[in-house]
Amino acid sequence: MQICQNPNCSNPFNPNHSRFCIVCGHDKFGEILRNRYRVLRLLGEGGFSKTYAAEDVDRLDAPCVIKQFFPQVQGTVERAKAAEFFKEEAYRLYELGENHSQIPRLLAYFEQGSSLYLVQEFIIGKTLLEEVKERPYTEAQIRQLLLDLLPVLDFIHHKNVIHRDIKPENIIRRSLDNKLVLIDFGGAKQVTKTTMARQATAIYTLGYAPTEQMAGFACHASDLYALGVTCIRLLTQCLPVQNSYQLKDPLYDPMRAKWLWQEFLQGRGVIVSQQLIYILNRLLQHFAQDRYQSAMEVLYDLQNDFSHTLTSDFNYINSEESKINLGTPIIEVATTQQKLAVNVPPMEIFEFQTMISHQENDKVKHERRIGKFFTEELNKHLYLEMILVPGGSFLMGSPEFQGNGDEHPQHQVIVEPFYMAKYPITQAQWKAVATLPKVTQNLNPNPSRFKGVNLPVENVSWYEAVEFCLRLSLTTGRNYRLPSEAEWEYACRAGTTTAFYFGETITPDLINCNVSQSYIADIGRNFTPQITEVGNLNLANAFGLYDMHGLVWEWCADPWHNNYHGAPRDGSVWDTNGDINRRVLRGGAWNFSAELCRSASRSWNEAEGGLRMSGFRVVLSFYG
């Protein structure tokens, strides 16, 4: 490609055979744009620009992409508006690309003659459109796509940017690391809460955009809708066809505003999990308010296979259904009887770090996960964070020939969803509730031996912990209580079957307890057990709960039983035929050995007194 050397030429790109510039008639040509970029070929063009493959001579001929402002509009006002869009794209690319590896970086932005140019990082790889033309995606590939792209969408949405053109051709699988890269921010829109409610220029692609975006009211849920459409098109290999008169799309019924992707896959004999069906259908809801409102919400449901048991507003769930065990999650089959969920403050999303154990090589790796929680206000300056623990089933206790005798027999338990405090109750939280009116007994506002507002409360009896729950319940109108022993172990394991939720061995980075040769992973590393603030290790289990191993013992509601013969299978408190004067303790403590901190390990103490290191955390049932 030849470059016209007239500095005022509005479009200097010419075919190699040209003797004169096809725009300005100039007869001087070169190979380099702006003394730096060698333009190779036209990649594509849209309503406002043309895109060229190029090489950066100053960077050892590194590949890049040049986008030339080339609006196909008439009139000065329209052209000026289009130019403003182009400049905004450059600003967005600079901010986004510099801060996220899955968005192309802006390398340069300049004006030459009467044209504007931006230069972007060139992503080597195939677009998803190229991939889907070869074969349809599997469910596993769709899940990986969502895991790759949802954090990117979360990032741009937190920067108050809506992409507005998510589709297979705007997603490239980078050959270098197989990561998905989101491209073409030409139609993206910078928004605030105020501007989102105002009608804007409608930019969209038919067959991918929702109705509110086509009307000029794009929002974060619009991008999520387009991502959902992208997923079902990749699953079905069914792409919309645009001709001069209409859009042909066998996947969508416009008269009923209904996507037909499930029927399409059923016709081909393709089976998709109930979890993915729920997620995709919620992404594809016709009204924006019925969709997921953030990428993190989608990630949460993708990581926790219980979302399809709930309606979109989490108000109702079926109570008498057949339950199909899929390992940890439960699928509920609808019947007519409904159970009302407990009313709680608005749920929020949070991100946390956990450890995943790989038993095949006895290694663990860090992983970022998503959780849901609400905050209970204790006073104007103090809150209690309650984590949503998804319902499911698990094997409670230890296998035969492992663990202690009181951990047998191992048995399957089904647990309904519930809320649990993120951390053991702190001394500040204890003191705030201890000042509330008495229900059955007095509470010492400062019972702990080791003082500190964010240290866990300790040296409290079982009855004092129950009094704390009663006072909190009367103040909030919600029935806070101690967890059942089954709920506690289920919450601690968080889907794992190993001795600890992070694996079979311990290091000082993973647990706050006394040294134990049986479980220590690195004998050369020193354990210096001491009581610390809650969350000090900055490591949660897969549910987002901290300090479930070590730190302080935690009271459970159950009276003590010497083994699990006759134990309930529904996660409830085992309140029959036990020793009511002795109550269950779980989790171990900072000054106890690792054996006693295992997920399955059990202990007890007198309900009236209790170990000096006895604390607790509260729970709240999901259902009323």
Length of the chain: 624
Listed residue (113, 33, 7) closest to 70, CA to CA: 113
Structure token pair of residue 435 = 């000042």
Decide: 360 and 379 in contact? Cβ < 8 Å: no
Contact 215, 202 (CB under 8 A): yes
Check if the beta carbon of residue 276 is closer than 8 Å to that of residue 265.
Answer: no
- Is 184 catalytic? The answer is no
Q: Where are the alpha helices (DSSP H) in 159-273?
A: 193-196, 211-214, 220-236, 261-267
CB atoms within 10 A of CB 13: 22
Contact call for residues 283 and 146 (beta carbons, < 8 A)? no
Q: How far apart are CA 359 and CA 552, in angstroms?
A: 28
| CB atoms closer than 10 angstroms to residue 87 | 14
CA-wise closest residue to 121 among 180, 53, 167, 186: 53
Q: Which residue pairs, CB below 8 angstroms and at least 24 apart, start in 243-252?
A: 247/206, 247/207, 249/207, 252/207
* Tokens linked to 536: 């000090």
- Measure the CA–CA gap between 428 and 445, rounded to whole angstroms: 9
Preceding peptide of 254 cis, ω within 30°: no
Contact (CB, 8 A) for 190 and 92: yes
Q: Which residue has the tokens 């999650």?
A: 329
What single letter denotes the amino acid at residue 248?
K
Contact at 8 Å (CB) between 259 and 240?
Answer: no
Query: From CA 395, how far away is CA 376, in angstroms rounded?
Result: 31
Contact in structure between 473 and 613 (CB atoms under 8 Å): no
Q: What b/e sequence results for 562-583 when a residue is b if at least 16 CB atoms lie within 10 Å of its CB, and e otherwise?
A: eebeebbeebbbbeeebeeebb
Beta bridge partners of 560: 579
Burial profile 451-477: b = 16 or more Cβ within 10 angstroms, e = fewer: eeeebbbbbbbbbbbbbbbbbbbebbe
Distance between CA atoms of residues 105 and 418, nearest Å: 44
Is 531:384 a contact under the CB 8 Å cutoff? no
H helices of 284-406, in order, are: 295-303
Which DSSP category does 102 fall into?
T
Q: Checking phi first, is residue 140 left (phi over 0); if not, alpha (psi -120 to 50) or beta?
A: alpha
Between CA 602 and CA 596 the distance in angstroms is 7
Contact 574, 584 (CB under 8 A): no
**Which of 163, 139, 132 minimizes the C-alpha distance to 150?**
163
Q: Which of 165, 184, 301, 558 is catalytic?
A: 165
Dmax (CA) for the chain in angstroms is 100
* Residues annotated as catalytic (active site), given as ranges: 165
